[in-house]
Amino acid sequence: MNKSDSQKKGKLFVITAPSGAGKTTMRNYLLENNPDLYFSVSATTRQPRPEEVIHKDYHFMTQEKYNNHLNNNNFLEHAEVFGNYYGTLKQPILERLEKGIDVLLDVDTKGAKQVKQKISEAILIFIEPPSMEELERRLRSRGTESEEVICKRLREAEFEMAQRDFFDYRVVNDVLEDARKEIGNILSPREI
Ligand code: ADP
Ligand code: 5GP
């Protein structure tokens, strides 16, 4: 191994999107197709959903434990999202990047901006819906949220969409196959 190989750091990819735009769909696709990519499991004070696996989907924790992490400066970024608290634990990510392993974060837009402030080389990808009507249709058809929550997420989506120019890449998730190709190419650019 030459000197430049030993110094090569991993890349930090951050995907963000209005709720319902297809972030989870894209994230799962990227993880299935990039077995060496490390997914950063976030801490949250939210209750687990029935299908969620503890420490795989999230590190579910009490507000007290979350506050301890916050006070000990353990988070790379953190935010309140729809009434719950979320944070990205710094240490596992920095360790991977140092070893040359690429890392994927799935965070809200506030968190993505904090990451960019701290790690300017982070690559921010904003997934957008083809239209607000389609976003609403997807949120309703997923059937995981109440009417009140859907309305709240749609209002928040307007605000998030207004900030989309801030991000390094924007991927419109209209035809799923096209969006998958586009995001896949951001992570592993094809040789021309
Ligand atoms: P998010 O994680 O951003 O909230 P999801 O990945 O859960 O969004 O997607 C929201 C809903 O839209 C899901 O039911 C998903 O299957 C569906 N969906 C995702 N991408 C597309 C697409 N390109 N066309 C149609 N439906 C989609
Ligand atoms: P959910 O609770 O539906 O899984 O996620 C709600 C929102 O919180 C999504 O926008 C998701 O990207 C965001 N989120 C998940 N983990 C984190 C995190 O560690 N930090 C921040 N800022 N947002 C997160």
- What pLDDT score was predicted for residue 191? 53
Q: Is 116 strand, coil or helix?
A: helix
Confirm whether 153 is domain-assigned. yes
Domain presence at residue 192: no
Whether 122 maps to a domain, the answer reads yes
pLDDT at 6: 58
Distance 138 CA to ligand 1 centre (A): 6
Residue 70 in any domain: the answer is yes
In whole angstroms, give the CA distance from residue 178 to residue 182: 6
Q: Considering every ligand atom, which ligand is closest to the CA of 131?
A: 1
Ligand 2 within 6 A of 107 CB?
Answer: yes
Total domains in the chain come to: 1
- The pLDDT value recorded for residue 189 is 78
Residue 153 CA to ligand 1 centre (angstroms): 14
Q: Quick check: is 148 in a domain?
A: yes
Query: What CATH number is associated with residue 67?
Result: 3.40.50.300
Is residue 133 exposed (0-12), middle (13-18) or buried (19+ Cβ within 10 Å)?
exposed
Closest ligand 1 atom to residue 173 Cα is: 23
Read off the tokens for 124: 């921010």
Ligand 2 pocket member 90 (CB < 6 A): no
Mean pLDDT over the full length of the chain: 93
**The ligand 2 atom nearest the CA atom of 112:** 22
- Return the pLDDT at 49: 87
Nearest CA to ligand 2 atom 10: 108
Whole-number pLDDT of residue 125: 98
In this prediction, residue 5 carries a pLDDT of: 54
Which stretches of the chain drop beneath a pLDDT of 70?
A: 1-6, 190-192
Q: How far is the CA of 182 from the centre of ligand 2 (A)?
A: 23
Whether 47 contacts 61, CB under 8 Å = no
Pocket of ligand 1 (CB under 6 A): 17, 19-25, 138, 141-142, 173, 176, 179
Sheet holding 75-81, edge to edge: 58-60, 42-44, 84-89, 75-81
Which ligand has an atom closest to residue 19 CA? 1
Residue nearest to atom 23 of ligand 2 (CA): 107
Nearest CA to ligand 2 atom 6: 81
Domain that holds residue 55: 3-187
Q: Where does the chain have alpha helices with state H?
A: 3-7, 23-33, 63-71, 90-98, 109-118, 132-142, 147-161, 176-187
pTM higher than 0.85: yes
